Amino acid sequence: MQDHDHVPGSTEAAQHAALAEQRRQLRLHVPRLIKSHEIHAQVHGTGPLGRFNTKLALLITRSVGTMWAAYLFALIAFVSLPQAFNAFTHGDTVTGVNWLAQSFLQLVLLPIIIVGQQIISAAQDARAEADHETLTTLHGINVQQLQILEQQHTILELLEKKQAASGGGSTGT
């Protein structure tokens, strides 16, 4: 006697139900890739004001978030450097620190940080697209494997029926 002959009918029915549920879930799942432009509506809304806010924010970010903006801001900060340096050397340390913190660091670092974030974001987007392609391929492979398993299950059922119709199981030696 084979091992699967000892499995009660209720367990086999549960296995069939579980397999059917897995097939249903696998066919319902559709891998998707979410792009940044699809998220814009979630941030500011889909109305005219939301679309305007999104476009304005992107325009400003793309304009300020360049190394050219960092160079320009550095030049602007250096215009006031002589006055800040003069005040600092005459004992007004607050003016010197304010120039360094507010005029130079904030003004110059802002666009550089935005550029860095754009680079990181581009790398994350590329990684997400590569992962999406891999997962979509794996999903396709899983669907094929499920189809093969279903075919094998059907063949086994036919063989069991044929064996039962031909006079029972095999006799072990």
Per-position b or e across 54-82, b if 16+ CB within 10 A of its CB:
beeeeeeeeebbbeebbeebeeebeeeee
Q: Is the pLDDT of residue 2 over 50?
A: no
CB atoms within 10 A of CB 41: 13
Dump pLDDT digits (tens) for 102-130. 888 888 999 999 999 989 988 888 898 88
Can you tell me the distance from the alpha carbon of 51 to that of 57, in angstroms, rounded to the nearest whole number?
Answer: 10
Domain boundaries, the chain: 37-165
pLDDT of 10 reads 61
Residue 13 predicted with pLDDT over 90: no
Structural tokens at position 56: 């304005």
**Whole-prediction pTM value?**
0.57
The token duo for 125 is 């987007």
pLDDT value, residue 19: 74
Predicted pLDDT of residue 7: 46
pLDDT single digits (tens) 19-45: 778 777 766 667 777 777 677 777 777
Residues with Cβ within 8 Å of residue 67, at least 6 apart in sequence: 111, 112, 115
CA-wise closest residue to 37 among 51, 49, 18: 51
Q: Residue 50: pLDDT band by 50, 70, 90 thresholds?
A: confident
Residue 66 has a pLDDT of 92
Reported confidence tier of residue 3, pLDDT bands at 50, 70, 90: very low
Query: So what's the pLDDT on residue 16?
Result: 76
pLDDT of residue 75: 93
Rounded Cα–Cα distance for residues 102 and 106 (Å): 5
